[in-house]
Amino acid sequence: MLLAALLAAFGINSPSALRLLYPRATAEVTALPAAPGYRAGQRVLVVSPHPDDESLCCAGSIQHALAAGAQVYIVWLTSGDGFELDAVLHEHTLRPRGWALERLGQDRIAEATRAAGVLGVPRDHLFFLGYPDGSLLRLLRANSATPTRSRYTGATRVPYRQALSPGAPYTAASLERDLGTVLDRVRPDVVLLPSTADFHPDHQATSLVTQRLLAARGEQGRERLWIVHGGLEWPVPKGLHEGFPLLIPPRGHRLPWTRVDLTPEEQDTKLRALRAHASQMAVMPRFLKAFVRSNELLTPPTAPQPGK
């Protein structure tokens, strides 16, 4: 820590100085095997709980897939309409109510569309499901015909006209039907989705429902998992440190990670995609920028595969 304090005091935070600060963690990432690449004609689906996760986890992977000639699709399960602090700043209201949070959801759909554009994913490859931010796990566990009410917008049905099924009730059956429709349309060879080790309940719910649907279709084995909320202040250090590795998240320390290496240009494009999420950049820029690193991390599923 003395070294950290010294380097910080002199404003030294170059990638090589940071490697001195985190020697073991850096060596762990360097020793990881490379993630499998993509092939022309492959169909890749990114399953994103909120607008911004697609870029945080996978902006580099998306660029690699497109460069290889694969088709990339993105589905967002929520529109990020439960972020009250964000609504306070972005919608200029001190006490955000349903309407302000719903407008925030609309804005975040637009931001996600712009971010996808920066990465080169066409508009007709984007699916917004519009389920309630902050309530996905509750909705799945309720597994009831009675719709779950968003504690933020107050909605019990998908309120967004751009959604795949506007007006669909906030039920587990409805969410599974919509996500199933996306899987039918995309027929993905590779699915990039959150790990259940991710700290955020919406991310855990996204992981569970996606893996359940893939298993029901006999389509396991194509998942590549990522973590955005990795515990213990991860990713360290916060802020923009292009060229420094994304270290292994504490919550996923035992997972069999693989490394996706990003060139400086790919890191710049990732930063531009994240900047498209202007509402998020306004409230937590140092967290978002901490994902613009020389690598991303993906892991295959570790649960035993039925029949194998």
Q: Total residues at the site for Zn ion (CB under 5 A)?
A: 3
Residue 203 or residue 224: which is nearer to Zn ion going by CB? 203
| Closest chain position to Zn ion (CB) | 50
Residue 50 or residue 241: which is nearer to Zn ion going by CB? 50
| Alpha-carbon span 280 to 273, nearest angstrom | 12
Residues in the chain: 308
Which of these ranges, 50-58, 219-227, 237-245, 268-276, lies near Zn ion under the rule CB under 5 A? 50-58
Quote the least distance from Cβ 251 to Zn ion, whole Å.
Answer: 14
| Alpha-carbon span 129 to 103, nearest angstrom | 16
| Alpha-carbon span 17 to 4, nearest angstrom | 9
Tokens linked to 163:
């959604």
Quote the radius of gyration of the chain (alpha carbons, Å): 19
Residue 17 or residue 205: which is nearer to Zn ion going by CB? 205
Whether 157 and 147 have beta carbons less than 8 Å apart is answered as: yes
Quote the least distance from Cβ 12 to Zn ion, whole Å.
Answer: 32
Question: Is residue 50 near Zn ion by the rule CB under 5 A?
Answer: yes
Q: In degrees, to the nearest 5, what angle opens at C-alpha 127 toward C-alphas 122 and 133?
A: 130
Question: Is residue 49 near Zn ion by the rule CB under 5 A?
Answer: yes
Quote the least distance from Cβ 200 to Zn ion, whole Å.
Answer: 6
Question: Is residue 108 near Zn ion by the rule CB under 5 A?
Answer: no
Whether 253 and 291 have beta carbons less than 8 Å apart is answered as: no
SS3 label, residue 92: coil
Question: Is residue 188 near Zn ion by the rule CB under 5 A?
Answer: no
Question: Is residue 53 near Zn ion by the rule CB under 5 A?
Answer: yes
Question: Is residue 111 near Zn ion by the rule CB under 5 A?
Answer: no
Amino acid at 68: A
Which of these ranges, 41-49, 62-70, 90-98, 270-278, lies near Zn ion under the rule CB under 5 A? 41-49
- Which stretches of the chain bind Zn ion, using CB under 5 A? 49-50, 53
